[in-house]
Amino acid sequence: MGTQAEPRKLLSRERVLRTAIKLADESGLGAVTMRRLAEELGAEAMSLYYHVSNKDDVFDGMAELIGQEINEAAAGVSTHDGGWKAAVRQRILTAREVLLLHPWMPSLLSIRNTASASIIAHHDAIVGLMHDGGLSYDLIHHGLHALGSRALGFAQELFDPGKGPVSDETISAMAAGLPNIAAMLAEVAHDDPASTLGWCDDQTEFEFGLDLILDGLHHRSSATS
Amino acid sequence: MGTQAEPRKLLSRERVLRTAIKLADESGLGAVTMRRLAEELGAEAMSLYYHVSNKDDVFDGMAELIGQEINEAAAGVSTHDGGWKAAVRQRILTAREVLLLHPWMPSLLSIRNTASASIIAHHDAIVGLMHDGGLSYDLIHHGLHALGSRALGFAQELFDPGKGPVSDETISAMAAGLPNIAAMLAEVAHDDPASTLGWCDDQTEFEFGLDLILDGLHHRSSATS
DNA sequence: GCGTAAGACTTACGATGTAAGAATCTTGGA
DNA sequence: TCCAAGATTCTTACATCGTAAGTCTTACGC
């Protein structure tokens, strides 16, 4: 009997948050406004406030859900028998894979530094792996600080010293004021543009830094015990 | 000739940026709005646009000035004779001291990841110190990535696992879902609340992470050469 | 039918960045 | 001294944002 209009799916906190994540995935965190979010849901902005207390609550909810995604992904990966270092490494790289699907997460976490339950749980798992490996809680504590955002799979890069191929002109132009960086760029010449998580945050570079820290922790653990 | 009204100091890009920094120091980055900034300068919001192209330009200018402050502070510190590691460490800790005076810098840098000239110069200096110390440019390049924001004196902390004294109730409350973190907190018990740069970013923790990375670079350098 | 409460909507306000153009002030040449 | 021509500042206005307050709609037990 004719068009029965759209089914008008009900709103819910879950649906709001999922839509917010989809919106951020597609158009960036800046596109997540209450009005745009409502539009995406076929509702009005103020209607969201019945399910969500305010925008920060939306942000926190998004982080919580991504944290769950990380934990689920990690649950599906067998705990290696290669020692705590391999296990922690694995967990963190798994987290990173999830974050690569949601590149806005780093920004979100820097805006809202409240700890969501699922992200704390992720850290709890890391602490557990380290402790099982024989590290003291004191060392683990220092280690968590040393890892910082790396525990979640990303590193804050301050700028992008070599996005794309560095032209020779660029190098000679900066050679005057920045002799050392110029020399480095001339020699290193980033060639793998397979980056993405924000800013020049290569998988290779990420793993290098991660291993540097894990090795350091391992060394300090062996030396002490 | 009575009161001659206020002298009405002239606006200038310099004055706008300095005032923005002062405002951020006093009331946080969120207080830096064009109107508030204008008010502070005894002018109208739109008048600023003659000296500054937009708000992002203000942010970039602030970062540039802080970068200069870092470089000036570093210039006043003698380059040690303790090898490249001590020299780099010194430079980074000096940068950190400046950042501690401007706790909003981390947030600013995460919002505007454009590279200001002075901050690039700071990195150039670090590259120089490392190269003088015999590190290969390739290793230096990796090292810079590994350092990330730490090169400027801060580390992104995701949340604050132990701000202030951790109450026993808190620990027993979380013991159920987070056995490992609970156990760690029970044992470690943060006791030095002399933190500040954002979130639980102790000087001690910062230096621990910094040394972990520098030691790792040193080790990888020795092994290769 | 009818109250009742959950859920969605309307309207409105203050804050923000900034476009467009008017007003004022400064300065140098006639 | 006067006046044209920048240089600088101000006025007004608009779009967008988060959200407070209150109203309408719908579903359902009686």
Contact A156, A149 (CB under 8 A): yes
* B48 vs A121: CA distance, rounded Å: 47
Residue B149's pLDDT band, with cuts at 50, 70 and 90, is very high
Query: Which residues of B fall within a CB distance of 8 Å from A220?
Result: 212
- In chain A, the residue whose alpha carbon lies closest to the alpha carbon of B162 is A141
Residue B6's pLDDT band, with cuts at 50, 70 and 90, is very low
- Residue B216 pLDDT exceeds 70: yes
Instruction: Please name the residue that has the structure tokens 């740069």.
Output: B197
pLDDT digits (tens, 9 = 90+) for A64-94: 999 999 999 999 887 767 899 999 999 999 9
- Per-residue pLDDT, B79: 74
- Residue B196 pLDDT exceeds 60: no
- Residue A3 pLDDT exceeds 80: no
**Hey, which of A10-24, A186-200, B155-169 has the most confident mean pLDDT?**
A10-24
Report, as an integer, the average pLDDT of A48-54. 97
- Per-residue pLDDT, A201: 61
Report, as an integer, the average pLDDT of A131-152. 95
* Choice among A72-86, A155-169, A173-187, B205-219 with the minimum mean pLDDT: A155-169
Out of A107, A184, A217, name the one closest to residue B140 (CB). Answer: A184
DSSP chain B: --------PPP-HHHHHHHHHHHHHHH-GGG--HHHHHHHHTS-GGGGGGT-SSHHHHHHHHHHHHHHHHHHHHHTSPPPSSHHHHHHHHHHHHHHHHHHH-TTHHHHHHH--PPPHHHHHHHHHHHHHHHHTT--HHHHHHHHHHHGGGGGT-----S-TTSSPPPHHHHHHHTTT-HHHHHHHHHH--------SSSS--HHHHHHHHHHHHHHHHHHHHHH-
pLDDT digits (tens, 9 = 90+) for B63-80: 999 999 999 999 988 776
Q: Which of residues 25-44 of A touch strand D (CB under 7 A)?
A: 32-36
A174 CA from C27 C1′ (Å): 40
Q: Which of residues 51-110 of B touch strand C (CB under 7 A)?
A: 54-56
B112 sits within 7 Å of strand C by its CB: no
Q: Which nucleotide is nearest to B51 (CA to C1')?
A: D8
Chain A contacts in chain B segment 80-119 (CB below 8 A)? 106-107, 109-110, 113-115, 117, 119
Q: Which residue has the higher pLDDT, A212 or B193?
A: A212
Out of B141, B201, B216, name the one closest to residue A212 (CB). Answer: B216
Report all structural domains of chain B as residue ranges with CATH numbers, in order of start: 53-157+201-224 (1.10.357)
Closest among A172, A168, A71 to A118, alpha carbons compared? A71
* Choice among A115-124, B146-155, B184-193 with the minimum mean pLDDT: B184-193
Residue B200's pLDDT band, with cuts at 50, 70 and 90, is low
ipTM: 0.89
- Residue B201 pLDDT exceeds 90: no
- Per-residue pLDDT, B139: 94
Residue B109's pLDDT band, with cuts at 50, 70 and 90, is very high
Q: Is the dihedral of CA B148, B154, B155, B158 positive or negative?
A: negative
A176: three-class secondary structure by DSSP: coil
B158/A145 CB distance under 8 A:
no
